Homo-oligomer: A and B are copies of this chain.
Amino acid sequence: MVNQTSGVLYGLGVGPGDPELLTLKAVRLLNECAVVAYPAPETGAGLAWEIAKPHLSASPEVLPLRLPISVDPFPAQQAYDDAAESLATRLTSGKSVAVLCEGDPLFYGSFMYLLERLSGKFRIEVVPGVSSPMACAAALGWPLVAHNELLTVLPGPLPEAELESRLQAPGVFVLMKVGRHFTKLRDLLNRCDLADDACYVEHATRPDQRVLPLDEVDPETVPYFSMILARRA
């Protein structure tokens, strides 16, 4: 049963990287909540906090959540249990909490692991954010999808056979979470005749944004926040 005297949990999408791509709603709630939480790596602040921080004019409690980055294996349950507990304490005391999320909270975001733990117990609102496929298309100046094209979004860590079968479809492909899977994905796109027009984008909308054809990418340098866009003409 949802506790109506508790604070509200907000999942705030902060967009792909450029702080100017926050929505007005995210900026307002960032400054209205008593607590601002964000996923943080073992050390340092994390991207979501870096993106949102320039817009913070209030003085909330700032709460880094030490969550495993969402790569294989499946997120460590204990870290999420602890984070949810820590948010629940604040919410129960009547404080509203904003959890900052890179891109959109529900598009491959770690927010959903908090959502599933706190759903039904507290009021929760998700504020959608600008998502990375749209940011990458903007960086390229390409249509992402036009008219009645199909779009298939494929996480890079999927097994090769599964990816290859999906890459036979018509339309547009967004390959997410490229990182250390770059070589596998590039070779697959070559085999599927998709590599020539494919494009690689890293850190879209950030000052260090890079846009490259696949054959100019050094696989050793590919970060987790990178993407490949491809189209079957």
Contact = CB atoms under 8 A, between A and B. Distances in A.
A51 to B, nearest CB: 12
B105 A70 contact: no
Contacts of A148: 72, 155, 157-158
A158 B23 CA distance: 33
Interface residues of A, number: 59
Contacts of A133: 107
A158 B169 CA distance: 14
A217 interface: no
Nearest to A150: B154
Contact of A153 (B13, B130, B151): B151
Interface in A185-214: 205
Nearest to A105: B138
Contact of A22 (B23, B109, B126): B23
A34 to B, nearest CB: 20
A166 interface: yes
Given A124-B141, A129-B130, A166 B169 contact: yes
A137 interface: yes
Interface of A: 13, 15-16, 18-25, 27-28, 55, 70, 72, 74, 104-109, 112, 115, 119, 124-131, 133-135, 137-138, 141-155, 157-158, 166, 169, 205
14 contacts: A13-B130, A21-B23, A21-B128, A24-B55, A106-B144, A106-B145, A112-B143, A128-B134, A128-B135, A128-B137, A128-B205, A129-B130, A150-B154, A151-B153
